[in-house]
Structure 1
């Protein structure tokens, strides 16, 4: 069964026949090519074109993160599951305003429902459901984004009711995150984004054509759309679990 490999230290990726090896000061570790689903590189990674050729042949992406855990980019192999028909339909749904609005609203509805479920799990009363009803009256993408922003702002406000003293969020901050919880959220969101991108690669969808976020050059914006749905249940719930179970402590942060 294939799995993800997370490289947390500096080193070199080398190829010998159909096996990739990670080499660092601690030694050499084999990464059997038929067992790799994706590679996540958090350290400084050096590799040759031979490694790239093998990973491309096997359809294995590598996601790169900087020292602080922010997503830098991905090596995205040449797509093998190509579909001209689906690409045309995907573009048509972006260009048709009504169709785009339907899809964009679904992304926000999914995100809102999961935010509400997380808060309900912790028995916190909230108005996210009421705010989500405003989607029905939205006639532009900016209005949909505004609803999403208001829901997430309210959701983040309630986070401190779940987190213990010493791990309060005190508002969302980015680049740089101003405290431990914000650092965890940024780290988790980056990991989720790259994971979603890996899953898109295994479909016939084009990752650059999106509906909620505007498609721009040099970014896979469809992964941003899809990530919105899963942030509350995959990133935030995990943070609450790790912090409240004291599996993460203040000394784990620099």
Structure 2
């Protein structure tokens, strides 16, 4: 089992990251530097104006620690990583399968079964916890539509048809999402998914946590030797980590969406922590962003029983485990890719 490694998040502007021996040296506001051993890290995420020394970049590249740069609001800018050490035969099989319509459809179908199954779990749980009958019935209807969509996936043999089923189910999911929010506060009203930029507090939270999940998935895929930029459901586009987005679809409902709902429903974030900029974009202040990152890291440390492997594993390892299962499928060890469906 792979050890659960940590991600270092740098959120304070003007922070300088350097290398001291085998440690990352973090210098902020003239205070004494903090030192974090490189061997304890899986990745470094820099939000906003953060400077990284070339010596630290080189050390991270050598040790497989990915450095990711985001804006203050969580929009991906760039990543720095070292030499790709994946199995060339595995990547060649990945590329062949991505170019084959039937092969792509087979993996995309499994990924979408994970997504729709996990979305249904979120909806059903929301129906059980609903504070009134109207919300419960609305969420139950949406969950039933996802059940029917799961059956429709088996009838589709092309990726475009699978995308159509997913699109219909996603529209139902997002139309019911507001019923999952139990806080009666106009600041957390939700009327639909919007992004680039997000225009309300809920979408701001969703986009930010999705970015954190995507970082972990890119690192996991590279760690098992797969190319995160060649996917099966999401087609190639320069600069887009399509395979990471594929697996993100599967894991978003149970990892990202549930964290966002918990943060809001438990009042771990407040309306005052969100600011509306001149162009209409909604952004988090520093304290809110740190609260989200803390909740994300705490969630990753909790353990669940993996339904396919039948082993207990920290939630933070789920991206790695799913990447590993996908690699095993591409190598021919598994007949199908087993998505993580959390019942």
Unmatched 5+ stretches in structure 1: none
On the 8 A contact 1:19/1:30 being kept in 2, the answer is yes
Compute the displacement of 1:100 (Å).
1.0
**DSSP 3-state at the match of 1:64:** strand
Q: 2:194 aligns with which of 164, 173, 190?
A: 173
**Alignment-derived partner of residue 59 in structure 1:** 64
- How far apart, in 2, do the equivalents of 1:245 and 1:223 lie? 30
**Alignment-derived partner of residue 155 in structure 1:** 173
What TM-score comes out, normalization by structure 2 length?
Answer: 0.71
- How far apart, in 2, do the equivalents of 1:232 and 1:223 lie? 15
1:105 aligns with 2:109: yes
- How far apart, in 2, do the equivalents of 1:42 and 1:132 lie? 38
**Alignment-derived partner of residue 8 in structure 2:** 5
On the 8 A contact 2:102/2:158 being kept in 1, the answer is no
**Alignment-derived partner of residue 24 in structure 2:** 20
In the TM superposition, what are the counterparts of 1:11-160 in structure 2 within 5 Å?
Answer: 11-25=15-29, 27=31, 28-80=33-85, 82-123=86-127, 124-125=139-140, 126=142, 127-160=145-178
On the 8 A contact 2:60/2:81 being kept in 1, the answer is no
- How far apart, in 2, do the equivalents of 1:131 and 1:2 lie? 36
Compute the displacement of 1:134 (Å).
2.2
**DSSP 3-state at the match of 2:245:** helix
**DSSP 3-state at the match of 2:179:** coil
- How far apart, in 2, do the equivalents of 1:24 and 1:200 lie? 32
On the 8 A contact 2:22/2:37 being kept in 1, the answer is yes
- How far apart, in 2, do the equivalents of 1:130 and 1:98 lie? 23
Q: How many residues align?
A: 253
**DSSP 3-state at the match of 1:72:** strand
CA distances 1:45-65 after superposition (whole Å, capped 9, x unpaired)? 112221111111111001111
Compute the displacement of 1:212 (Å).
0.2
What TM-score comes out, normalization by structure 1 length?
Answer: 0.95
**DSSP 3-state at the match of 2:189:** coil
Compute the displacement of 1:165 (Å).
2.2
Moved over 4 A (4+): none
- How far apart, in 1, do the equivalents of 2:180 and 2:91 lie? 43
**Alignment-derived partner of residue 252 in structure 2:** 231
* Bigger shift: residues 139-148 or 90-99: 139-148
- How far apart, in 2, do the equivalents of 1:90 and 1:3 lie? 28
- How far apart, in 1, do the equivalents of 2:208 and 2:190 lie? 14
* Bigger shift: residues 21-30 or 102-111: 21-30
On the 8 A contact 1:174/1:182 being kept in 2, the answer is yes
Compute the displacement of 1:26 (Å).
5.2
